[in-house]
């Protein structure tokens, strides 16, 4: 007799092609609507699943894992970041965690450049004039932004996405600088034309644009805190497509309001969807609803990785994208 199919519970709506394939391969429980599950609903889902497929909107802590019982064996996260999952507690209970690294590298890097352009060239302000029907015609001094070429870009976090940003930045004539917990190999630095800064303080004080591309970990929480934000040049711009918790959002707002920071492009926020409404009132800020990875191709590839991780696990092997505590 064939082995029974794994019970796979999915917490959010996924692309149709991904959901269809899951139904073909597993005993998949899919969502009818797309609202986030409550804490109680998430625990209940874990009690009836061999495999849970959560997203970044699902906070899974030690208490929830303890209440989930013994059936759950794999958390196959739909996404690369796993800071919303207590991976150490999961592993201590014999639950493996996998993710989907490397899939949205190019999409996110594209969005970094879009935000840099949007802020420095004041694109949303021009768009508002056109959509509001208030444009009175061209003027030599209207909506003057800044030229990209020649500016210094400081990349915080030089992993896959950071390097993809560096390649795009060079094409725009930006000078590429970076800070990373480990220095890149000399040949990689040469390929990217990137200058390494061991001191983050020294780098941020000299950059025209800062791009945050590091993950959220205990060591990166408020990495750009009030003290470091004060070091920025008044003409500097900050772009964040990584994790909102890396920047002290309240300190950033104060700096923008005081004219100590020229502008910001934010695709992520410290408290998720509950971002500070004062950001909306700032004309020098571009806000996006966490759409850096939102491409049809990227989301489908994420789903493919989730399915491969589950299928490999079902076949009795280690998921290829297993997350190991201490190596995050």
Global pTM? 0.90
Q: What are the C-alpha distances in Å from 173 to residues 45, 70, 75, 179, 274? A: 50, 55, 43, 20, 36
List, in sequence order, every beta strand (DSSP E) within 143-229.
152-156, 175-179, 194-196, 209-212
CA distance 192 to 103: 21
Q: Is the pLDDT of residue 173 over 60?
A: yes
Per-residue pLDDT tens for 194-222?
A: 999 999 999 999 999 999 999 988 899 99
Average pLDDT over residues 14-23: 97
Q: Which residues contact 251 (CB under 8 A, 6 or more apart)?
A: 225, 226, 229
Q: What angle do CA 307, 310, 316 make, to 5 degrees?
A: 140
What value does the mean pLDDT take over residues 227-231?
Answer: 98
- As separate numbers, helices (DSSP H) first and strands (DSSP E) second, the chain gives 12, 12
Given a cut of 80, is residue 9 above it in pLDDT?
yes
**pLDDT score, position 326:** 62
Residue 273, pLDDT score: 87
Evaluate if residue 257 carries a pLDDT over 60: yes
**Helical (H) or strand (E) element with 28:** strand 27-29
Q: What is the mean pLDDT of residues 253-260?
A: 97
Give the pLDDT score at 327. 57
pLDDT score, position 325: 79
Task: Show the domains of the chain with their CATH numbers.
Answer: 7-103+295-314 (3.40.50.720), 105-287 (3.40.50.720)
* Residues 112-166 pLDDT 10s: 999 999 999 999 999 999 999 999 999 999 999 999 999 999 999 999 999 999 9
Share of the chain above pLDDT 90, in %: 94
């Amino acid at each position: 007799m064939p082995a029974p199919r794994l019970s796979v519970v999915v917490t959010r709506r996924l692309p149709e092609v991904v959901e269809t394939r899951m139904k073909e391969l597993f005993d998949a429980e899919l969502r009818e609507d797309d609202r986030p599950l409550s804490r109680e609903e998430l625990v209940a889902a874990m009690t009836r699943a061999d495999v849970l497929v959560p997203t970044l909107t699902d906070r899974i802590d030690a208490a929830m894992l303890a209440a989930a019982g013994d059936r759950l064996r794999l958390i196959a996260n739909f996404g690369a970041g796993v800071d919303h999952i207590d991976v150490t507690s999961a592993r201590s209970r014999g639950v493996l965690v996998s993710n989907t690294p490397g899939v949205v590298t190019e999409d996110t890097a594209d969005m970094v450049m879009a935000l840099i352009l949007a802020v420095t060239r004041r694109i949303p302000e021009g768009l508002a004039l056109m959509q509001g029907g208030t444009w009175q015609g061209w003027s030599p001094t209207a909506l003057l932004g800044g030229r990209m070429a020649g500016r210094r870009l400081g990349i915080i976090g030089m992993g896959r996405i950071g390097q993809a940003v560096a390649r795009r930045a060079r094409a725009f004539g930006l000078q590429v600088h970076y800070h990373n917990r480990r220095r890149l190999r000399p040949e990689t630095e040469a390929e990217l034309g990137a200058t390494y800064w061991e001191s983050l303080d020294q780098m941020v004080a000299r950059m025209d644009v800062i791009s945050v591309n590091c993950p959220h970990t205990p060591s990166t929480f408020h990495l750009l805190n009030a003290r470091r934000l004060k070091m920025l040049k008044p003409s500097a711009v900050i772009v964040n497509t990584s994790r909102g918790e890396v920047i002290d959002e309240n300190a950033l707002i104060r700096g923008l309001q005081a004219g100590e920071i020229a502008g910001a492009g934010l695709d992520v926020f410290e408290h998720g969807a509950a971002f500070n409404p004062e950001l909306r009132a700032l004309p020098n800020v571009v806000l996006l609803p966490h759409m850096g990875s939102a491409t049809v191709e990227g989301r489908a590839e994420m789903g493919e990785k989730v399915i491969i991780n589950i299928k490999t696990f079902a076949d009795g092997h280690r998921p290829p994208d297993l997350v190991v505590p201490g190596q995050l």
